[in-house]
Copies of this chain bind each other. A is one copy, B any other.
């Protein structure tokens, strides 16, 4: 299936990722329809049409399928039954398999390992006894994470093995006694990510991996080049290609890695969507990750992924958004405000990318 100009792309989710996807789609000659319960959401401000309803509202999804030639999503926590049903009545790209794998940290890490992509060691823990055993195996240290619905550092408890840790019962209780896994603490020296696009014809194109810095569990900066050598870059891209192929993926995904002291990589998690650590592509590449995703799901050829400049992308969290006019006064800075009315602590309000050097 190749979309023609004037075709309509459905986007489930109306946040900043949907907003930037809608802008990219418009430039390529496509129309967009966003499904999002919140009116006047960031994406609704730039799309052609909005269906105001819950993401799992079957009658709304039916409407979306009726109005759109292809449907995609901007976040991975879509109700899986709704996504599977949607895939039977519409072209859903990427498909439901990527959602199924990505929604559960256990299936995600298992899938990665099964396809030759190393992760940190992890244990599925069903109760306090199993958590005690797993902690003992990992030397008393590790990160307990909810299997589902964690993001930006939420749904995590760190065991430091220094006597300050909660008991296993307390930890499980404080996460709401939901399914969890314990991950071994990885003594990583840095973090990188690969934004990869896989076209409908199976072609994979990767952007260069940025070096990422998180603060309070939220991405703070992505820097190009990413501070690793060419072998590490290639290994990261190769892993992203393997993953995209194994998922039969169509679209853009983001795969995050820890970089160990010896340069080896441990995949942390992947997002079956455009990714915050790819926002710099809007400023430093001819074809951004947003356009790349639209090209992929439209059955179009992919862009080449090259960047014309080194750069640093900074997130603007909460009241940081007030920095935009001052940032605009700097040379070589591209700013982006997501159009969210209320600024709240920890809320992603915008970002900016500073080009630091041209490359050629």
Contact = CB atoms under 8 A, between A and B. Distances in A.
A15 to B, nearest CB: 14
A309 B300 CA distance: 25
B325 A300 contact: yes
Given A46-B46, A336-B27, A337-B5, A301 B325 contact: yes
A338 B31 CA distance: 11
A295 interface: yes
Contact of A28 (B31, B40, B337): B337
Interface residues of A, number: 46
A37 interface: no
A200 interface: no
Contact of A328 (B28, B48, B338, B339): B28
A350 interface: yes
Interface string A320-353: 0100110011011111111101000000001000
B46 A23 contact: yes
Interface in A160-195: none
A126 interface: no
Contact of A350 (B29, B46, B328, B337): B29
Contacts of A29: 321, 324, 337-339, 350
A325 B287 contact: no
A260 interface: no
Interface in A18-45: 19, 23, 26-29, 31, 40, 45
- The A contact surface, by secondary structure, is loop
A321 B358 contact: no
Nearest to A40: B48
A82 B92 CA distance: 49
A2 interface: yes
A67 interface: no
A40 B47 CA distance: 12
Contacts of A6: 339, 341
A65 interface: no
A309 B306 contact: no
Contacts of A334: 286-287
Given A283-B286, A337-B5, A358-B308, A28 B300 contact: no
A5 B301 contact: no
13 contacts: A5-B324, A23-B23, A23-B46, A31-B339, A40-B48, A46-B46, A286-B355, A287-B334, A301-B328, A301-B329, A306-B332, A358-B358, A358-B359
In the A-B complex, the 7 residue pairs with the closest CB atoms: A29-B337, A358-B360, A301-B329, A304-B331, A27-B336, A286-B334, A45-B48
